[in-house]
Amino acid sequence: MAEARIIDGKAFADRLRARVAERAAKVKQQHGITPGLAAVLVGDDPASAVYVRNKEKAVAEAGMASFPHRLPATTSEAELLALVAKLNADPAIHGILVQLPLPKQINAERIVDAVDPAKDVDGFHPVNVGRLASGREGLVPCTPLGCMMLLEDTLGTLEGKDAVVVGRSNIVGKPMAALLLAANCTVTIAHSRTTDLPAVCRRADILVAAVGRAEMVRGDWIQPGATVIDVGINRVPGAEPGKTKLVGDVAFAEAKAVAGAITPVPGGVGPMTIACLLANTVTAACRQNGVAVP
């Protein structure tokens, strides 16, 4: 059988970022609005610092306004809530992103709940979660939104497909399942208590792995010709001593011999997340100002 088509998320994300930059320029030119994103980082977790820096760089490259906020690890919940309230009230800021995880003295749910749903470009606020679940317009979490774009680009219509999502987190698995359902797939959500996970996965025309376990999904879990979206980002020891590398939740070499199409790690879903954050920020800016998204 032919090897799977490799879904080039990096190339798709580059095109999306260029389109978003064009949209941002039009909004600026036609309405005098510069879409603005405030990224809040509390503490000095190195991985979070890299994520936030990359997001801010992408915002600037798209010609949008970036409002960085760095707070010490000792920040209290009240202090962070006060900052969120200030950002909610600032008309130059259309998107607010509070990088998770937060230090343990801060209740993350209270912070997520405090962000104005109209500015919640991560799509984590319960109002946006409810809108997604009930098929209403809202802001959709970036990673699953990016996965849907890759799937639609690969398959065209998703209607009637059997989709299996492995993982039920609030940020990936659950919103992914809601989006697939909205696209008229027949959706199964699998998790750590699922019985006979390989057999459940083998039913899938579309298999989305969002688990956080390196190469857990094996080649013989995949239906021949299935489309596989690997959300996992796992750092594992590399070939050379002392070196590491990134792998997904799917055993890529085995899977690509069976699947019809598959996202690589890195270069698949990862770059889509930031591109979708930019897209959400432009969308939020337009909606807050009552203008059409160009």
CB of 192 to ligand NAP, least distance (A): 3
CB of 30 to ligand NAP, least distance (A): 32
Given candidates 123, 138, 167, 260, which one binds ligand NAP under the rule CB under 6 A?
A: 167
74-77 contact pairs (CB < 8 A, 24+)? 74/103, 75/42, 75/43, 75/103, 75/106, 76/105, 76/106, 77/105, 77/106, 77/107, 77/110, 77/111
Annotated active-site residue in 116, 120, 122, 249: 122
Given candidates 117, 173, 260, 264, which one binds ligand NAP under the rule CB under 6 A?
A: 173
The dihedral built from the CA positions of residue 69, 73, 75 and 80, taken in this order, carries a sign that is positive
CB of 177 to ligand NAP, least distance (A): 11
Given candidates 38, 171, 176, 206, which one binds ligand NAP under the rule CB under 6 A?
A: 171
How far is residue 138's CA from residue 119's CA, in Å, rounded to a whole number? 10
37 binds ligand NAP (CB under 6 A): no
CB of 160 to ligand NAP, least distance (A): 25
Is 122 annotated in the active site? yes
168 binds ligand NAP (CB under 6 A): yes
Q: Which stretch, 22-30, 40-48, 108-116, 161-169, contacts ligand NAP (CB under 6 A)?
A: 161-169
Q: Which residue, among 160, 181, 159, 178, has the nearest Cα to 168 in the 3D structure?
A: 178
166 binds ligand NAP (CB under 6 A): yes
Q: Indicate the burial class of 108 (C-beta count within 10 angstroms; 0-12, 13-18, 19 or more).
A: middle
Given candidates 1, 32, 193, 239, which one binds ligand NAP under the rule CB under 6 A?
A: 193
143 binds ligand NAP (CB under 6 A): yes
Is 153 annotated in the active site? no
How far is residue 150's CA from residue 147's CA, in Å, rounded to a whole number? 5
Is 223 annotated in the active site? no
Residues contacting ligand NAP: total by CB under 6 A: 25
33 binds ligand NAP (CB under 6 A): no
169 binds ligand NAP (CB under 6 A): yes
Name the residue whose CB lies closest to ligand NAP: 169
Given candidates 123, 138, 232, 260, which one binds ligand NAP under the rule CB under 6 A?
A: 232
**How far, rounded to the nearest angstrom, does the alpha carbon of residue 215 sit from its chain's CA centroid?**
20
227 binds ligand NAP (CB under 6 A): no
Show which residues are catalytic.
Answer: 55, 99, 122
Q: Which residues bind ligand NAP (CB under 6 A)?
A: 143, 166-169, 171-173, 190-194, 197, 210-213, 231-234, 269-270, 273
